[in-house]
Structure 1
C-alpha cells in the first residue's frame, strides 16, 4: 500500500489505482471522491499544514509514500517522511537544486536553452521590461503578481522576466518525455486568481523544434539535477521557442490528463533510499503498465533525431463512430462568491456505483455537503473529453457557466 500526502491527494490516489496500487492519504480536504477510493485517509488542519503531515502519516501501515503539490517547498517535511518510509519522489538534495530558480536558470543557460531573465538577488525590480514577483516557495501560481519598477528585493521572493505566450506543461518519467499539455492559468471564466493554476488540456502535439528542445531539457535535468520518477516542467511557448519557467519535482496535476487520454497508467518508481540509509540504488521494476480494456498505447511519433512527440491518442468511440482522437480537459472551478456546498448536484453520478479508475469523471475533488467555501477558494474540478482542443475548452467553459448558475442559489 502506498501513502499519498500533500495539499490534495485525490489525483495521485486515482493514478495509483490505475496502476494497480491501493493507497492511504493525508491532505487538506479529504474530498468525497478521495474517501471512497482509499483504504483510509486523514485531514491535515489548515493551521497545522504541512508540519502535522509526518505525525498523521505515522498512523498508517509501513510502506512507501508519495508526495504531491506543495511539499517540495517544505523539504524538512520530505526529509522527515523519508526517515521512516521509502520515498516515491525526489529526495532532499534534488529539491534543493531544482527549486533554486537561480541554479536552474544557470543550468539552462549553460546548456543553451531559453529561460526568462532573473534579477540578481538583492537588487530592485528594473525600470525596463515587464517582471513578475514570484515567491521562492511557489505553488499553483499563488502569490505571483506583476512587479512594479523599483519594487524592493525580498528574501522570500525573486523577480522573473514576464514572457507573453502560451503556458504549457511537460511531464517526464525519469528523463523521458511522457507528454505535453496546455495549462489553464488565471482563467476568468473559472474565477481563478491572477496567475493561479486552474487546469490542463491535452495531450498537445508540438512541432519538431519544440519536441527536440523539451526532450533535451528532460534528459539534461534528469542527468544534471538528479530528477527521477514522475515530474513536470512548466514553460511558455512563443512560436517555436520554449522558455522554461520552473520544475515541479513530483507528481503533478497534469499526469491524470495524459493517463486518461493515453489509456495507460504511469507508475512512480521507488526513489533512492532515504538519507542516511545507504547508497542510492536503481529502482526495482514495477509490474507492467495496466491498460484500460479496449484502450491503446500512446501514439509516439519520432523525428529524425528520435525526439518523441506525444500526439492525442486514438480511442474507440461508440457504435459506428470508428477511431477518434481523444483530448482531455481538466479545470479547477474557483468560488465567485462564498458558497455553502449543496447536498445534491450533477456530481452525484460520480459518487455512485463501483469506482472505475479509468472512467473520466465529470466532476472530481468533490467537497462534503455543507462545506463553507470562501470567495476565491477552489470548489471542485471539472473534466470533459473531446476530439479537438477548441471543442474541449468550449465544453469546460459551458460546464463552468452551469456551475455559476447552480452556485448562485447556494450563497450563505
Structure 2
C-alpha cells in the first residue's frame, strides 16, 4: 500500500481534496482555478490557472503541471471531464491515482456512454442526438460539461453546438450516489439530493449544492447498487466516483451521467472517516478496496453562494467557520461567479435548510459590514 507522501491535486477547485489529503497525512500541492484561502491553507504550494467561460485552457494546464515539483502521486477532481488529454499528461512520469483518461473519455462522450448503458440494460431518460421535431419537454446537454452550466431547455439555446444531445426532461429532483471502487468491487458511501439554481436565466440548471439525504426507498437503493456494480465491472472504475440519476413517474431509476472522479459531495462525508475519503480514494485506485464503516451520520449540506453583483473582497472580512472556498482579500469576484460555499449540519433536512438560510443571511450581513468598515 502506498504510504502517505506528497500529492499533486489538479481540479477546478482543489480545496476539498486537499483538505481530505492533509487529514490522511499527505502533503498536498495544487493546481486549480481559484487559489482560495482554504486551498492555500491545506497545500504546500498552490498554482492558479484561471478558468475561462469554457473551463480550463488545456495548454495552460499542461504548462502548470510541467512546472510543479515531482510528487509521489497525482490525482484530479472536477474541471477535467472534457480534458482527457490533460489527464494523460498528468500521468506522465507520475503515479496517477484515478480513472484513466480513456475511461473519462468514454464516460463523458455521450454517444459512447449511452450506448454502454443501453448494452448493459441500464435505464436512462429518452435520449437522442438529432433535434426533436417538437422541443417542448426536451433538454439539450453537452458532453464533458460540469456543474449543470451546459444544460438548458431545448427551446432556449443554440442546438447546433458539437457534442450536444437531447434528453426528455424529468420532473423529479436530481440525485447522486457517491461510491468507492477498486476496478472490480464497489461500495456506496452515500446517496445525495442535488440542488440547482435558476437565478441566472441563462443557466437554469446550475449546480447549487447538495445534501446527504434522499427520499429513496430500499428497493431503489438496491437497484442503484446493482447499476454501480455493472458500471464498475464494465469500465474498471477505481477510486471515488459519482453517479447522477433521477427517478421517473413510476419511481424507476434513470441514469443521467457518471462522474469518474471525486465529486463535490465528498465534503458531505469526509469528516465521518478518521483518515478522510481522499486517502481511501488512493488506496482503492491502487487496488485495495478499504474496509470502512460509516456510522449514523448527521444530515449535512453544502451550498454554493454565487456573487449577486461584482465583488471585491474586503480585507476586514472575518469569515465564519462554516464558510469554505473563501476568496482572499482584494480578490475580485464577477457577478454570478462562485463566491464561497456554506455548510450546515442538522438532525434532518428541515433543520439543515433552516441553518443554511440563516447562515446565508448572516454571511451577506457580515460582508456588508466589512464593506462599510473598509470605506471608513
User: Which TM-score band (shorter chain)?
Assistant: 0.7 to 0.9
Aligned 8 A contact 2:136 2:154 in 1: no
1:249 aligns to 2:292 (yes or no): no
Aligned 8 A contact 1:94 1:225 in 2: yes
Aligned 8 A contact 1:363 1:383 in 2: yes
1:259 aligns to 2:266 (yes or no): no
1:222 aligns to 2:232 (yes or no): yes
The Cα of 1:284 is off from its aligned counterpart by: 5.1
Q: State how many pairs are aligned.
A: 356
Match of 2:196 in 1: 185
Match of 1:213 in 2: 223
Q: 1:35 to 1:124 in 2, by over 3 A?
A: same
Aligned partner of residue 376 in structure 1, secondary structure: coil
Q: 1:126 to 1:407 in 2, by over 3 A?
A: farther
Match of 1:136 in 2: 143
Match of 1:400 in 2: 360
Structure number with the higher helix fraction is 2
Inter-partner Cα distance in structure 2 for 1:102 and 1:66 = 26
Match of 1:51 in 2: 59
Deviations 1:97-147, CA, capped at 9 Å, x for gaps: 211223222332333332111123xx2233065111112221111122101
The Cα of 1:339 is off from its aligned counterpart by: 1.1
Q: 1:237 to 1:288 in 2, by over 3 A?
A: closer
Match of 1:298 in 2: 294
1:381 aligns to 2:353 (yes or no): no
The Cα of 1:264 is off from its aligned counterpart by: 5.9
The Cα of 1:398 is off from its aligned counterpart by: 2.0
The 5 Å alignment of 1:10-409 reads 10-46=15-51, 49-58=57-66, 59-120=68-129, 123-127=130-134, 129-148=136-155, 152-174=159-181, 175-186=186-197, 188=199, 193-204=203-214, 206-238=216-248, 240-261=251-272, 265-266=276-277, 267-269=280-282, 283=286, 285=288, 297-299=293-295, 313-314=296-297, 326-347=298-319, 350=321, 362-407=322-367
Aligned 8 A contact 2:135 2:154 in 1: no
The Cα of 1:8 is off from its aligned counterpart by: 0.6
Inter-partner Cα distance in structure 2 for 1:172 and 1:287 = 12
Deviates more, 1:6-15 or 1:254-263: 254-263
Aligned 8 A contact 1:337 1:374 in 2: yes
Q: 1:287 to 1:109 in 2, by over 3 A?
A: closer
- TM-score, normalization by structure 1: 0.79
Q: 1:149 to 1:257 in 2, by over 3 A?
A: closer
Give 5+ residue unaligned stretches, structure 2: 1-5
Aligned partner of residue 328 in structure 1, secondary structure: strand
Inter-partner Cα distance in structure 2 for 1:149 and 1:330 = 29
Aligned 8 A contact 1:2 1:23 in 2: yes
Inter-partner Cα distance in structure 1 for 2:357 and 2:201 = 11
Q: 1:28 to 1:154 in 2, by over 3 A?
A: closer
Q: 1:150 to 1:2 in 2, by over 3 A?
A: closer
Match of 1:302 in 2: none
Q: 1:93 to 1:270 in 2, by over 3 A?
A: farther
* RMSD (Å), alpha carbons: 2.8
The Cα of 1:191 is off from its aligned counterpart by: 10
Aligned 8 A contact 2:175 2:214 in 1: no
The Cα of 1:205 is off from its aligned counterpart by: 6.4
